Structure 1
C-alpha cells in the first residue's frame, strides 16, 4: 500500500494534473494522495502560494485586492477548464477566499488561512477529476483526515494523536485526497507547517496509514550526488539512507525537505523519489540502511550559503565549569538556533544561519552580552560563510576521506575557515568564504567522483 505526494511542479497546469491522475489510475496500490499548490508553469511564472501571499499583503495594507484575487482565480480557471470538470468549484474557491478576508481579523491567522488555499483547492479539483475518470476518490480536509497541530502560526507541529485518526482511513474504500502544508489546531485555526510543508504532510499521512512505501513525485527522477545546476552531469543516487538524506537536505539539497523525513525515519517507511513526467523510472530510494562499498565512501556533496561564525577565546576555558553552557544560553535567550560548535581547549566557535540576525539589533545584542557575561580574552565574528558538506555512510570505515577534501581545497587556494566532523563520521563540514563556494564544491566533487 502506497501514499503518494505530488509537488507544485507536478500540479502546475491541467496537463500536469492529468499526468498525476494517470499515475494514480494505473497504480491500484496508491491508497492516499497528498497534493501541493500549483507551482510555476515556466521560469518567470508565479506560484499560487506567492499569489495568495500577495493578496494578503494588499489586503492588510488596505490596497485594492481585485487584481490579486483575479490572478489566483485565473490559475484555477485554467486548470479546471483544461480538465473539463465542474466549474462551480471556482465559485466555491472564490467564496472561501472572500470569507477568510472578511471574517479573520488576526493577521497571522489570516495569512495561514490564505496560504492553505493553494493546496486545499488543488485537492478538491484533483478529487473531482479522478471521479470523472471513474476512480472512486474523496477529498478530505486535514480536519476530516484527523491532522491536528499546535497553534503557533506558520509553525505547526503535529499532535501525536493525529496518527490514530489517520490509521482509521485505511478502512475506507476510496482513494483519499488530502491537501498538504497545513493542519487544524484544537482551537479550530488553520495552521501551516514551516518550509516544505507538503512534504511534511505526505510523510505524516504515510506514517499514519503505515504505508509500505511513500512515493514523492517531483520534476526530477533522481537525487544527484551534486547540485545539477552547479555540477556538470552529476551522478544519480539510486539508494540513500535517511541519515545521508538528512545531511544532504540540510546543506541545500532542495528536492526533499529534511524535516519531512522524521515521521518516516521513526517507523522505517522507505521513500521513493519519482518523476511525474517519467514515472516509469525507478528513481532514488531512501531507506533505513544500505550496502556500502569501500570504493564509494562518499554519496553526495553539497554547499549552502549564508552562515556567520562567532568565536570566543578564553584562557583555561576547559577548566571553567559551565562556560560553554553560559555561552550557549546567550544564543538561546535571543532565539537563535546553532548549527555547529567547533572548539579547542581555549576557544569556541558558534556557527549560525545569518538570517537569524535579521532585525532588532540581535547580532549586536548577542555580542554585547557575550562580552559582559563571559569576559572573553577575545571575541570575533566572521560573516558571509558557506558550509561545504561531504556525506556518506562509508566514510567511517575509509581512510583518507578528509585528506582528499583538504587537498582539493588547497590546490585551488581556498582557505578553510572551519572543519567539523561528528562522532558518527557520516559527514564532514568545511566552512569557506561565500565567494569561494562554487569553486569549493566543484573541486571537492571532482576529487571524489571524477
Structure 2
C-alpha cells in the first residue's frame, strides 16, 4: 500500500458532504497512514470533531489558535507528506486561491511544504460559476492537485456536477500519486531559510526544503492540439444533429497537459463545460467543418494532437432556412459525409509529430479500434465503450484501453483527470 506510513492532513470544510470525511479518515488509517484532521468552524455543524478524532486517533484542530502557540499551523505544514482538503467549499476555495487566512485549513495550506490535493463539493450552479472556475484554475496554477467533482443528485435536488468525489476515488488518487512520486521529491526541491531546529544553532546555517506539490514538466516546450466535445450540424434555425459528449475528457486532457508544461490549443465543440486554465488557448467551434478548419490550421505547429472530440460523421446536405414544419408523411433528410479530421492529420503527419485518436465502440471494439489506428496513421488510440458502467459520455470517470500497433493496455475505471494522465504518460514515451 502506497499510503502506509504517510503523514496525511485532512482539511474538512462546511459542506453537507462532510459526512464523507469520516470514510476518508477511516480509509487512510486502514491503509496505514497517520492522519491529522483540521476543520473549519462551519464544518463542525455537519460532523462532530469527536467523530473524526476517534477515527484518526488524534486531536482535531478547529481553530487557528488551537495548540500551544501560533506556530502550530507551521508545524503541521512541515509534518505532512500531503494535505488533502475534502470537502472543499466555494468559500474556502476562494480563501485558498487568494491567501485569506482566517481558518485552520487555509493557515496550514499556506504553511504546507508538501503536495496539496483539493476535492471540491458544492451545488451545480456554484461549481459552474466563472468565479469558481477561476479559483480552481488559480489553485491548480500553484501546482495543487484537483480531485474533480462527481455528477449526481445534489443537496438542492438538482442533478449534475458538484458532488464530492467518492472516498474510494479520493484514496485512489493519493495512492496513485505516491506510487509515481519519487521518494526524495521534497528533498530535491530548492531550499530557503527555515526555522532553527534547536536553540543555539545559527539561523543562517539551517535550511528546510521549500516543498511544493511535485509536478512533472515532461511536456515543457511541447505544443499540443486537443479536440473535445460534440459538434452540432444544423438542420434548420432551431434544430441540429448532435451527440451526448460533454467535452469533459478532452478538457481534462488539456488541463493535465498544461499542468505538465505543454502549450495547449483546445478546440472545443458546443458544451456547457469550459476551462479558464491560463496555459490553454481555447478555440470554440460548433460544426465538424469548423473544427476541421481550425485543426488543419493548427496541426503544422503542433508536436502532437489528441483527438477526443465526438465529431459528427455526417451533416445535412442543406440547412433549411425556415423551421421544418411537422407533416403527416415521413420526413427525409439527406446527409453527406463530414471531413475526417483524424485521417487528414494522419496523412499530413511529419516524422516528429504524434497523433492520438479516440474510438467509442459498442461492438467488435478491439477489431474496430485497430482498424481505425491503421487507416488513419495514428500512433495511439484510446478505446472506450458506453457498455462499461461509468465510462464514456456523461460521466466524470472513464474506463479505457490504449492501443498501439503492437500492444493493448487496459486500465481500471478512474476519474477522467487520472485517465488524462495515463494517456499523456503513454504519449510522452513516444516522442
TM-score computed with the length of structure 1 as normaliser: 0.26
Indicate the structure whose relative CO is greater, using CA pairs within 8 Å and at least 6 residues apart: 1
TM-score computed with the length of structure 2 as normaliser: 0.27
